[in-house]
């Protein structure tokens, strides 16, 4: 578990790819700030070149939480890495599409395994 991150979020490696799994609901400002700090610190420390954010368990993802994913993307890409999104429900995918982030900025896969294989 990552320090200050919500208990139901996780970061793990699968086949050398860092996989972030947000909590079921991410809309509380304090929770978003905590997860942002925790995830960005982990990225800075580990400097992964391949990252997946899996929305498999996510039922609500507020607009402020999208900023977390954008900051992650910038840091990862600044040092030559790449990021993929996966397992988005219809509502969450629509949020990213309305913001014109998919498919412009992010590639989205149906599953974590597909996202990992896409690198």
Tens of pLDDT, residue by residue over 89-102, are 999 999 999 999 99
For 24, the domain range is 10-117
Is 72 within the bounds of a domain? yes
The pairs formed by 116-119 with CB atoms below 8 angstroms and a separation of 24 or more are 116/14, 116/15, 116/17, 116/19, 116/50, 116/52, 118/84, 119/17, 119/50, 119/82, 119/84
Whether residue 5 has pLDDT greater than 70? no
Question: Residue 4: inside a domain, yes or no?
Answer: no
Task: Give the per-residue pLDDT at 69.
Answer: 96
Burial (Cβ within 10 Å: 0-12, 13-18, ≥19) of residue 1: exposed
pLDDT digits (tens, 9 = 90+) for 28-78: 788 888 889 999 999 999 999 999 999 999 988 888 889 999 999 999 999
Structure confidence at residue 115 (pLDDT): 98
Whether residue 58 is preceded by a cis peptide bond, meaning omega within 30 degrees of 0, is no
Q: Does residue 31 lie within any of the structural domains? A: yes
5, part of any domain: no
Q: What is the pLDDT of residue 3?
A: 46
Entry pTM = 0.90
- Looking at residue 7, what is its pLDDT? 56
Number of domains in the chain: 1
CATH code of residue 67: 3.30.750.24
pLDDT category of residue 114 using cuts at 50, 70 and 90: very high
């Amino acid at each position: 578990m990552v320090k200050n991150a919500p208990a139901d979020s996780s970061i793990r490696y699968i086949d050398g790819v860092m996989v972030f799994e947000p909590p079921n609901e991410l809309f509380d400002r304090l929770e978003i700030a905590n997860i942002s700090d925790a995830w960005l610190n982990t990225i800075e420390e580990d400097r992964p070149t391949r990252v997946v954010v899996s929305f498999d368990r996510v039922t609500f993802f507020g607009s402020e939480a999208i900023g977390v994913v954008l900051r992650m993307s910038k840091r990862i890409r600044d040092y030559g890495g790449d990021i993929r999104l996966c397992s988005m429900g219809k509502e969450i995918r629509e949020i990213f599409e309305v913001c014109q982030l998919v498919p412009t900025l992010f590639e989205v896969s149906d599953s974590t395994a597909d996202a990992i294989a896409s690198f």
